[in-house]
């Protein structure tokens, strides 16, 4: 467990619980999210939080069997902030009353402070205009305050928009301070953590030193292999581990023949030539492309690629003096166990390939030095470790590579066409200075031919789709609003410069209902 000042977020299943953690991490506060049903007295003793935040959630505290917090949490003498469902749990468990909502309130609202608390420290820097815009989303409402609580803020639809017990430093809000739609929510969270005495000791510099120590303690003099994909996460993990154990680490970069133009050279030269990190460049394109020959079903493509990655890693683990550890760039959002109220397993939309399935099969122990970090923290750590900015800002690229950007059966020829078109699209984006505004951009080569006319001749070639999205975490996404000029210029370049494509379309589907990749 981290040695830093710790804040515990008890998750009641809100869609936006992760945002609470992100906001706090931005404030240099180390926090962890734990589902309410895993937080018991023993856990609280072990975790020893300096403060606790209770998240929102979809349940109603008036419903039988609805989630509660362990009572001990309110008896530890640490500040508690309840958000939405968390507010209702606090009121209910501390002696107030919550009633089922005849009055549902969703969306924008304005909170004003009560005269008695307007100048309190919890409101430092707020209410400059007399009121604050907040985002409400609740069905139930508190009708009787728990003993010790006073009203801090009200809104037209929520007379108890914010309540507090200053003696115990318990606060509870009906709105969501963690979302962007509450523009000054971050200030409220900051005031709360300052009241709780956090000094903000969670920095990437401190984390780097600690992580290095931890890796050394875990690995001893054992050997580690690290699957390097060329993405930010695995690159940062590799550099951190290399700093910790030097030559005991060997990276394996699997070239499955589904990479973008120039990608293998870029990754290999950076790690082998610039950083001197031992690297096996496994050219396995024949193995992968052979196995994918004639395969057009997206799930079979994904599973075939996943299986072959396992085979290749197994071979290389043996070849580097029997490595016992496998390193991967798992991030905190992959680790957080979200609370499911439906009880059943969620539907598999796509079998994402990552190497999470490896260890059981290979009997390797995992080294995951980024398990506690969010993506923006990984980028900060990458900067700390000296990774070049253009590498840190690279768009995500999926494990199965171009296979899932070439719907239908894959061939060498199609992949070549796709690589060229993709390189032009990315070049266009860079030339227009848009690369860093976009989460991810790529071309999908469609399994459709269309008729065109070039010069005096007829063409009958492939159509392609441009895809560019903005997103915070890849879970939801919006298409990027290029200008018509940009799109026209890009289409002209692709059709003019790439033999094999005579038609360009722009995919303007958001996620949901679409997904970012085409397969
Ligand atoms: P979708 O297509 O599910 O993609 O909206 C969301 C994000 O995940 C990436 N992605 C993958 N990343 N292995 C990966 O490492 C995969 O199998 C995989 N499939 C999708 C995708 O590029 C986007 O950033």
Taking residue 24's Cβ as centre, other Cβ atoms within 10 Å add up to 25
CA distance 257 to 123: 57
For residue 439, report the distance from its CA to the centre of ligand 1, in Å.
12
The answer to whether the CB of 146 falls within 8 A of the CB of 94 is yes
Of 310, 355, 474, 515, the residue with max ligand 1 atoms within 8 A of its CB, to mutate for a pocket test, comes to: 474
Give the residue ranges of the chain where pLDDT is below 70: 1-2, 101-104, 336-363
Catalytic one among 117, 138, 176, 316?
176
pLDDT, residue 361, reads: 60
Residue among 478, 450, 484, 474 nearest 464 (CA) = 450
pLDDT, residue 344, reads: 43
Q: Which atom of ligand 1 is nearest to the CA of 350?
A: 3
CA distance 503 to 494: 9
pLDDT, residue 331, reads: 86
Q: Is 395 in the pocket of ligand 1 (CB under 6 A)?
A: no
- Collapsed DSSP state (helix, strand, coil) of residue 32: strand
In this structure, which residue's CA is closest to atom 20 in ligand 1?
398
Q: Is 350 in the pocket of ligand 1 (CB under 6 A)?
A: yes
Strand partners, 136: 107, 175
For residue 386, report the distance from its CA to the centre of ligand 1, in Å.
26
Query: Annotated catalytic, 176?
Result: yes
pLDDT, residue 322, reads: 82
pTM of the model: 0.79
pLDDT, residue 354, reads: 53
Strand partners, 293: 410
Strand partners, 366: 326
CA distance 514 to 233: 25
Q: Is 267 in the pocket of ligand 1 (CB under 6 A)?
A: no
C-alpha 4 chain-centroid distance:
22
């Amino acid at each position: 467990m981290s040695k830093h000042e710790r804040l515990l977020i008890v998750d009641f299943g809100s869609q936006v619980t992760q945002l609470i953690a992100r906001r706090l991490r931005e404030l240099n506060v180390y926090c962890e999210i734990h589902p309410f049903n895993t937080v018991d007295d023993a856990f609280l003793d072990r975790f020893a939080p300096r403060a606790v935040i209770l998240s929102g959630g979809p349940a109603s505290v008036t419903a039988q069997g609805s989630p509660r917090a362990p009572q001990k949490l309110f008896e530890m003498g640490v500040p508690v902030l309840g958000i939405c469902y968390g507010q209702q749990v606090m009121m209910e468990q501390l002696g107030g009353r919550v009633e089922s909502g005849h009055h549902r309130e969703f969306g924008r609202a304005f909170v004003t402070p009560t005269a008695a608390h307007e100048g309190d420290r919890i409101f430092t820097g707020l209410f400059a205009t007399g009121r604050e815009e907040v985002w409400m989303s609740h069905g139930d409402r508190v009708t009787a305050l728990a003993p010790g609580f006073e009203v801090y803020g009200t809104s037209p639809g929520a007379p108890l928009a914010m309540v507090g017990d200053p003696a115990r430093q318990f606060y509870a809000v009906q709105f969501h301070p963690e979302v962007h739609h509450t523009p000054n929510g971050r200030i409220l969270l900051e005031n709360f953590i300052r009241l709780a005495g956090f000094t903000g000791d969670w920095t990437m510099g401190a984390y780097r030193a600690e992580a290095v120590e931890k890796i050394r303690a875990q690995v001893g003099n054992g050997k580690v292999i690290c699957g390097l994909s060329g993405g930010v996460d695995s690159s940062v993990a590799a550099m951190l581990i290399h700093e910790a154990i030097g030559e005991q680490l060997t990276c394996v970069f699997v070239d499955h023949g589904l990479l973008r133009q120039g990608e293998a050279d870029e990754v290999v030269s950076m790690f082998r030539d610039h950083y001197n990190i031992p690297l096996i460049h496994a050219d396995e394109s024949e193995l992968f492309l052979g196995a994918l020959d004639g395969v057009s079903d997206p799930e079979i493509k994904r599973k075939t690629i996943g299986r072959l990655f396992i085979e290749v890693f197994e071979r290389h683990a043996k070849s580097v003096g029997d490595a016992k550890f496998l390193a991967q760039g798992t991030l905190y959002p992959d680790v957080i166990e979200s609370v499911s109220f439906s009880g059943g397993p969620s539907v598999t939309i796509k079998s994402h390939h990552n190497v999470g399935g490896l260890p059981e099969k290979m009997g390797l122990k995992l080294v995951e030095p980024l398990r506690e970090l969010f993506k923006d923290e990984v980028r900060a750590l990458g900067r700390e470790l000296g990774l070049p900015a253009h590498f840190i800002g690279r768009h995500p690229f999926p494990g199965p590579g171009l296979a899932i950007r070439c719907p239908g059966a894959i061939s060498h020829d199609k992949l070549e066409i796709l690589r060229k078109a993709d390189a032009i699209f990315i070049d266009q984006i860079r030339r227009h200075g848009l690369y860093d505004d976009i989460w991810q951009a790529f071309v999908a080569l469609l399994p459709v031919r269309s008729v065109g006319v070039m010069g005096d001749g007829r063409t009958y070639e492939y159509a392609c789709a441009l895809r560019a999205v903005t997103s915070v975490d890849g879970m939801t996404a919006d298409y990027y609003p290029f200008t018509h000029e940009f799109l026209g210029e890009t289409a002209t370049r692709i059709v003019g410069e790439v033999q094999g494509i005579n038609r360009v379309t722009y995919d303007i589907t958001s996620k949901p209902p679409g997904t970012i990749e085409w397969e």
